[in-house]
Structure 1
Amino acid sequence: MFFDKNLLTPCPILKPNEKEFQDPIGYLSSEAIKRLGLKYGILKVVPPENWKPNFTLSSNFKFHVRKQVISDLGITTRSRDFFRENVNRFLKMRRKRQLKLFFEVEGKKIYYYDLYILVENLGGYLKMDLLKWSEINEKFDIHIDSEAIKNEYETSIRYYANYLNHKGKVEFPDSDSEDEYDNCLICGDHNDPSETLLCDNCDNPFHMKCLDPPLNSVPATNWFCDKCLIGTGEYGFDEDVDTKYSLPEFYKMCKDFDQKFIESYNDGLPLNVDTIEQKFWSFVDIEKSDLEVKYGADIHNLKPGEISGFPMINSPGIELNEENKYYINHPWNLTKLPFAKGSLLNYINTSISGMTVPWIYIGSLLSTFCWHVEDHYTLSANYCHFGATKKWYGIPSKYADKFEKLMKDSAPDLFQKQPDLLHQLVTLLSPMKLIENGIPCMYADQQPNEFVITFPKVYHAGFNCGFNFNEAVNFAMDEWLNYGERSISDYKPIKKENVFNFYELVENIIKEYNEKGTHNYRLLKYSLKSFEDFTKNQIKMLKLLEGRNFTKEFKEKSYKAREFDLEQKGEVDEDEEDDLCHNCKSKLGFQYFEKFVNNQLLTPDSSPKEEFIKREAIKQEATKIAESTSDELTNLNKPTCMMDEFDRLINQAKQQIQDDDDNNKRRSSKRLQKQTSQEPIKKRKVAGMKRHPKVIVNDNKYCLECVLNDDNLTSGKIIYQNDLKKQQDMILEAKRKLERSLILNV
């Protein structure tokens, strides 16, 4: 698709004076700026000319990079590629010819994936008629009466489409990379090795009898499991975990790459921003390109001097002169902005890496950040310390729903498999496609010493035009509250982890008002309504759960201060248990359910893992007995009358040895030799928006809504971290105080 920059709209460039620049939240909350934020979504802020903080990063700073293949980022190209891989495995099982990405009719490319989606959107193959096939011909710009597309569909993908429709939405069993015994992924057993199939792609084991439908014999051809035939839609960036770069090392690598790129892709001519932009989007749309770039993204080093490029009081070797003190405490210093006067993130109880603590981004030519919105739809601020232009694209929040629909329509199967795909930062769609579908797209060219601000629920993406150093944090203004509340309901269906507890935030706003009476009317009115509706809903759900006779436990919540002070400690312990619902990943707190954990010995309902432990214990004992002499048997701590049991265990051990031999023979079969000769499947680290890399989610805690929707949760207790009467009293106190205040003001 040809890229035309003239179809995009440049974002407003703000140049606050020194007084305005001293109060970032107040300035951005002014009516004029809020209107611009609502209309454009992204704004560029240029500080006063004399505002030039020193760059104080430690010389010890090093970082990992992630590898990005640009052509893999396009949602259309990736969907087509995934479909081809999966359908070709299906065809290989049937000994049919392998497909390319597309076939041609009248010199026009018809992508198999696009054809499959069109037929599914029209109701599937069984509902196709001459009129619908004619409609598909028109979609592909085939104007003569031709059955070529219909014939190719029937020959190549009809049976695969039928297989997908028959399977529907499948829950794939989890594999265990540490399993050395080839336990069947479905039943958890590793008996009957001669009846166990290994998938020719992922090498996972399955009993033939456990499959749906079961198999009676080993297939003569390749065999693939459902997961490898249907696909999961998972995609992420390979991270170079073995190499760490210093800034000078990465800079040199970038310069070498830039020169090779110029020679290979620009006829040796110098690059400018417009040329880079044209080439970038052409690479996104290329079906397959080997062009790989490296990006130092989401870097969250937490040692003093490695947190931020801005001066901090604990920056190694910093002189605490008047100039440095000014920048250390300046509210536009991104270590300070999340907690600047007026930012509602002051009311969350923990510091969050990447949200209230900066993450660093070290770019190279064409390194990319894909379409996404900020966690909980907060605002973001990104500052460029030095280097090449960072290119930004943004979509005003009122078009967010339309944008999401376009993305889902572009790859419906991917979103069915990965409902939170837009929160994974791994997907691009060209701005030209947005314009074509009536979605305006803004752009910003960010230079050194400039900020880019994204407003609530603004989808944004972009790339770097060369080596640069940026960092970013989040903040929240009063108008953000309704977006923050909406994020909770949007996250539940896709099971996206909540980063902080929104209702604790509004509770803290109300508490502070009751203590100090310092909030404006609109902020408090919204907070009261939000928290009152939440409390009423909790009461309603607790009443509905009374019939299940759960026990109750009161465990008062202790509100702790933010977990660390950047200026004093400069480090944070990220190993913590997070109070997230095991099912929907929303934050708990207030009142929630905790199921009883069965600590008894094995029961008929034991898990495959427990059964495996039991079998291994028996196997070890049996092996010991099988290899013992008669004298040693006599000395075992067993009564002599148990010889019948010894015979049984000896036979069991011999059978196990025979099974292991069979298993080894099975693994050395021609089919498996072929499998082991292939490269191991790459495991990719998905670049998502998870702010706590080491969070542990407790698997026996659930929010009340999820308990109501799950009849199997019958044994447990309701935890009351907040007394409901106190919650209601707090709301009533604030209402009365607000009414008195309004009367007095009148």
Structure 2
Amino acid sequence: MEKIPTLYPTGQEFENPIDYLSNPHIKRLGIRYGMIKIIPPGDFRPPVSIDVQNFTFQPRIQNLENLDLINRCRLFFMKQLNNFNRSVKDATKSILKTPYAVVECSDPAHPAEKLQKKIYFYDIFAELIKTNPALTDTSQSSRKGLRFIGISQIRENTSLWRTISKNLKVPTGLLKHVFEKYIASYYIFLHSLNENVHTALHNDQYPKSLLSDDEDGFDLDSDSDSGSGSEEEEEDDEACIVCHRTNNPKRTILCDSCDKPFHIYCLTPPLERVPPGDWICNTCIVGNGYYGFTQDSHDYSLPEFQDYCNHQNAKLLSKRTLSIDELEEMFWNLVTEDHRNGLTTVKYGADIHNESPGQITGFPTRAFIPKDLSENEREEYVKYCDHPMNLTNLPMVHNSLLPLFERNISGMTIPWIYIGSLFSTFCWHMEDQYTLSANYQHQGDPKVWYSIPESGCAKFNDLLNDLSPDLFIKQPDLLHQLVTLISPYDPNFKKFGIPVYKAIQKPNEYIITFPKCYHAGFNTGFNFNEAVNFTTDFWLPYGFGAITDYKSTQKPCVFDMFDLMINILNKYNNGTLSFNDAFARQCYSSLIVFYNKELKRIRRIQAIVPRTHLLTFNSGPEDDDDEYDVFCSQCKTICSVAFVLHALSDPESLRTHKRHKKNHLSIKQWNEISTTNRNLSVLCTQDFLKTLQNSNSSGDEESCDNDELYLTKSLEDIETLIKQVGVKLDK
């Protein structure tokens, strides 16, 4: 596999990182490979500055085989089949222990000889979805969904089975046999839902995975109790998942798979009484595709975690010394194994964001200066405190755009620390809003990186959807969750024409990821890394592109691009913008395109919605300072200029609506309406008009009499700014 370029900037270039990375030659390399490696000048050797005595962290627990996309889909499907059989109390079906059936078939090379072959249940199911367009309905305006046709149409479609036989390299008769024995009754159930299967799932703010760790009994091989901690927050154990209320405990039933509570009258269809024996909710039968890491409950110090790493190395390597290539081969073999015995469990101190001095970063800072430094050492130490490639400074250096937001951006402007162990991994992902990132290794064993540049992103998405066609319908933002791997050595990369590159990062080296680059990798032992996001002027179109892409997967943006444009043009208008006129003109054009589309939708809404208000946000000491934006209930996009408070036409909704409109709400309160209120929706202008269009086309017209349009910004102020900047640019 080709390695990414390694660059050696001069001292002067290293002092001006944004200008250096914006150099056309460097930019071309970054866009072509997705990443570049930077070796600092020889005199750049910042000491590791961490308060070792007080620094602690809780690592996440990673089960490597469950991270592989295909393994996980196969295991999910096995659990779904088992849950279905439990729910219908089919005594003829035993609990599946493996996600496949073993059958005998002829050896293609020696037809007279028989061989045993594994036929995975999920592979048949996935092929049914991929090869029969009737199973995939893309007419939904919001997103693609699955609708299952009748079982007889499946059974009688000989062309379909021939195609599946060719793709899976298994005789048609054997495939049909496995389908009938293991899958057919489950398929009939899915068809009986008679609707987009996705709508059969209940909305759960804190979902539980079908591959939950407490069921699987993983051997963490640690003296710490790591079974109780979790990344997921706890919700009220008694509250019904559907209505979020705790009343009528005698009319509440617990799912015997996920242990979530439901009122029997909140179910679809509702039950008259609590049934005897096992009861499984639809989500555990259909599967929501959710998977998350468990968090260790033990707080590790750095020396403790190094001891764990030494023990882990001895356990996994049996005191062998392996090369990077050998470790790489071993890692991907562990990830892609498909058995359930002896899962490989590792720990990773990821996304550590402690807040005390000496615990925020490994770079020198004035907030934490070791006491035992000589005068010369102290002078050298302070020099690194101000260096632009100190990751506490990089987001805000000259020609970065992040300072123009004029506020802290959660998770972006402050570095996060990563403490690795052997085979701990970071899964395929892009940076938030397609920003650039810088990762520096302070000390330890090498980190292996893989990159898929922007040119390969669409093909990579196609591959993942091809391998798991149902999973991305259930979890459209799957690749934003950082829980999924597929080996870059998988033959499908070549089949789909996906470019992929590799890097080996060692101490005192930087890896820079460029916009819209998928990247993943693993650690070859204990190491201490740190990463932060930053931006350049050439990032701007990617930031706007992320808005459209995020809407399709319902991922919230991290910051508002419209606000950024307003701030940039205000500074340009006031003569305080440090960028040139060409950049200001680019921002001006972007703002006009965005605003004109929004204004057109606002005028359409004002023609049908009786009331428009210019919003004034209430703020107080109880408000969360990190909440600056109102998000759409439906697509989760930021409502940059306007939104509609949409009320359902039932009495409870109208009473709630009237109570809310008497107050000036904080941004936090608006977002609570957006996420938790079942009778009121906060809709961006695009989704509101789409909702009306859908209701009109279905013949079920919705009334807008109780809806209100809220402007988050003065249209007059925006238009005045656009006019003033336009005049200045024309001069």
**TM-score class, shorter:** 0.7 to 0.9
Aligned to 1:437: 496
Render the CA deviation track for 1:5-46: whole Å, top value 9, x for unaligned. Answer: xxx110000001111111101111101101101111110000
Q: For residue 100 of structure 2, what is the aligned residue in structure 1?
A: 102
Tell me the distance in 2 between the aligned counterparts of 1:522 and 1:165. Answer: 57
Partner in structure 2 of residue 39 of structure 1: 32
Q: Match for residue 330 of structure 1?
A: 387
| Number of equivalences | 627
1:443-458 matched pairs, under 5 angstroms:
443-458=502-517
| Gap change, CA 1:432 and 1:205, over 3 Å in 2 | same
Give matches, 1:46-57, under 5 Å.
46-57=39-50
User: Contact 2:410/2:626 (CA < 8 Å) preserved in 1?
Assistant: no
Q: Distance in 2 between matches of 1:695 and 1:192?
A: 31
* Aligned partner of 1:257 among 308, 312, 315: 312
Structure 1 residues 708-740: Cα deviation after superposition (integer angstroms, max 9, x where no partner): 334566535433343222212222222222222
Distance 2:235 2:34 in 1: 47
Mark the CA change 1:581 to 1:180 in structure 2 (over 3 Å): closer, same or farther.
Answer: closer
Match of 1:726 among 690, 696, 717: 717
From the superposition, tell whether residues 238 and 695 of structure 1 become closer, same or farther in structure 2 (CA, over 3 Å): farther
* C-alpha displacement of 1:225: 1.7
Amino acid aligned to 1:132: L
Distance 1:115 1:701 in 2: 41
- The structure whose Rg is larger is 1
Deviations 1:40-64 (A, max 9, x none): 1110000001101121112311111
1:426 counterpart residue number: 483
In the alignment, does 2:581 pair up with 1:581? no
Other-structure match for 1:484: 543
> Distance in 2 between the 1:17 and 1:338 partners?
21
Aligned equivalent of 2:129: 120
Deviations 1:577-606 (A, max 9, x none): 6532233222234333356899x9x95989
- What SS class does the counterpart of residue 542 from structure 2 fall into? helix
TM-score, normalising length: structure 1? 0.78
Q: 2:690 aligns with which of 709, 726, 734?
A: 709
CA distance in 1, matches of 2:10, 2:172: 67
The CA deviation string for residues 445-498 of structure 1, in whole angstroms up to 9 with x for no partner, is 000000000000000000000000011111111111111101001111221111
How much has 1:272 moved relative to structure 2?
2.1
Q: In the alignment, which residue of structure 2 is the partner of 1:365?
A: 422
Match of 1:533 in 2: 593
Matched, 1:78 2:72: yes
Maintained 8 Å contact 1:68/1:237:
yes
The Cα shift of 1:351 comes to: 1.3
Q: Give the partner amino acid of 1:583.
A: Q
Q: Residue type matched to 1:474 in 2?
A: N
Matched position secondary structure for 2:612: strand
Shift of 1:300: 0.7
Q: Which residue is equivalent to 1:631?
A: none
Q: Is the 8 A contact 1:184 1:205 kept in 2?
A: yes
After superposition, the C-alpha distances for 1:481-530 in whole angstroms (9 at most, x for unaligned) are: 11110100111122111111111112222222112165334422321111
Q: Which has the higher contact order (CA 8 A, sep 6+)?
A: 1
Q: 1:542 aligns with which of 602, 622, 625?
A: 602
Structure-to-structure mapping, 1:620-659, within 5 angstroms? none
- Amino acid corresponding to residue 74 of structure 2 in structure 1: R
The 1:137/1:56 distance shift into structure 2, 3 A limit, reads same
Which residue is equivalent to 2:642? 591
Distance change (3 Å), C-alpha of 1:148 and 1:721? closer
Amino acid of the residue matched to residue 10 of structure 2?
N
* 2:384 maps to amino acid: Y
In the alignment, does 2:572 pair up with 1:513? yes
The residue number in structure 2 matching 1:613 is none
Q: CA deviation at 1:82?
A: 0.3
Call closer, same or farther: CA 1:335–1:714 in 2, change over 3 Å: farther
SS of residue in 2 equivalent to 1:157: helix
Partner in structure 2 of residue 164 of structure 1: 190
Is contact 2:161–2:172 with CA below 8 Å preserved after alignment? no
Given the alignment, which residue of 16, 24, 38 partners 1:23? 16
CA spacing shift, 1:183–1:444, aligned 2, 3 Å: closer
Among residues 272, 287, 292, which one is paired with 1:231 in the alignment? 287
Letter in 2 for 1:706: D
1:157-193 deviation per Cα after TM superposition (whole angstroms, max 9, x unaligned): 0121222233322253356976677869479696594
Over 3 Å counting, the alpha-carbon distance change for 1:467 and 1:23 in structure 2 is: same
Is residue 609–residue 709 contact of structure 2 (8 Å, CA) maintained in 1?
no
- TM-score normalized with structure 2 length: 0.79
CA contact (8 A) 2:429 2:479 kept: yes
Q: Is the 8 Å Cα contact of residues 347 and 424 (structure 2) preserved in structure 1?
A: yes
Q: Shift of residue 386 of structure 1? A: 0.5
Whether contact under 8 Å (2:632, 2:638) holds in the other structure is: yes
User: What does residue 726 of structure 2 align with?
Assistant: 735
Tell me whether 1:63 sits opposite 2:63 in the alignment. no
Structure 1 residue runs without a partner (length 5+):
1-7, 560-571, 608-692, 741-746
Name the SS of the counterpart of 2:403 in structure 1: helix
Cα 1:514–1:120, aligned 2, differ >3 Å: closer, same or farther?
A: same
Q: Matches of 2:249 and 2:391 in 1, distance apart?
A: 60
The one-letter amino acid paired with 1:525 is R
Q: Match for residue 473 of structure 2?
A: 416
Which runs of structure 2 are paired with 1:192-211 in the superposition (5 Å)?
193=250, 197-205=253-261, 211=267
Q: 1:102 corresponds to which letter in structure 2?
A: Y
Does the CA contact (< 8 Å) of 1:338 and 1:473 recur in 2?
A: yes
Indicate whether 1:131 and 2:148 are aligned: no
CA contact (8 A) 2:643 2:711 kept: yes
- Matched with 1:743 is none
- CA 1:183/1:340 → structure 2, altered by over 3 Å: closer, same or farther? closer
Deviations 1:87-126 (A, max 9, x none): 1121232222333311234222211100111122232651
Q: Which amino acid aligns with 1:71?
A: E
When structure 1 is superposed on structure 2, of 104-113 and 550-559 the one drifting more is: 550-559
* 8 A Cα contact 1:63 1:296, kept in partner: yes
Q: Identity over the aligned pairs, expressed in percent?
A: 38
State the shift of 1:316 in Å.
4.3
Kindly tell me: are residues 218 and 301 of structure 1, through their superposed partners in 2, closer, same or farther at Cα, counting changes over 3 Å? closer
Distance 1:441 1:27, change over 3 A: same
CA separation of 1:299/1:87 partners in 2, compared to 1, >3 Å: closer, same or farther? same
Match of 1:314 in 2: 367
Contact 2:399/2:578 (<8 A) preserved = no
> CA–CA distance in 2 between the matches of 1:180 and 1:481?
44
In structure 2, relative to structure 1, the CA distance for the partners of 1:524 and 1:306 (3 Å cut) is same
Give distance in 2, aligned partners of 1:558 and 1:221: 51
Give the residue type in structure 2 aligned to 1:199: C
Q: Which residue of 1 aligns with 2:112?
A: none
Name the CA shift for 1:101/1:19 in 2 (closer, same or farther; >3 Å).
same
Change over 3 Å in CA distance of 1:164–1:43 after alignment to 2: same
Deviation at 1:370, TM superposition (A): 0.2
Q: CA shift at 1:327, angstroms?
A: 1.0
**2:207 corresponds to 1:151:** no
Q: Does the aligned pair in 2 maintain the 1:577–1:696 contact within 8 Å?
A: no
The whole-number CA distance in structure 2 between the counterparts of 1:285 and 1:331 is: 41
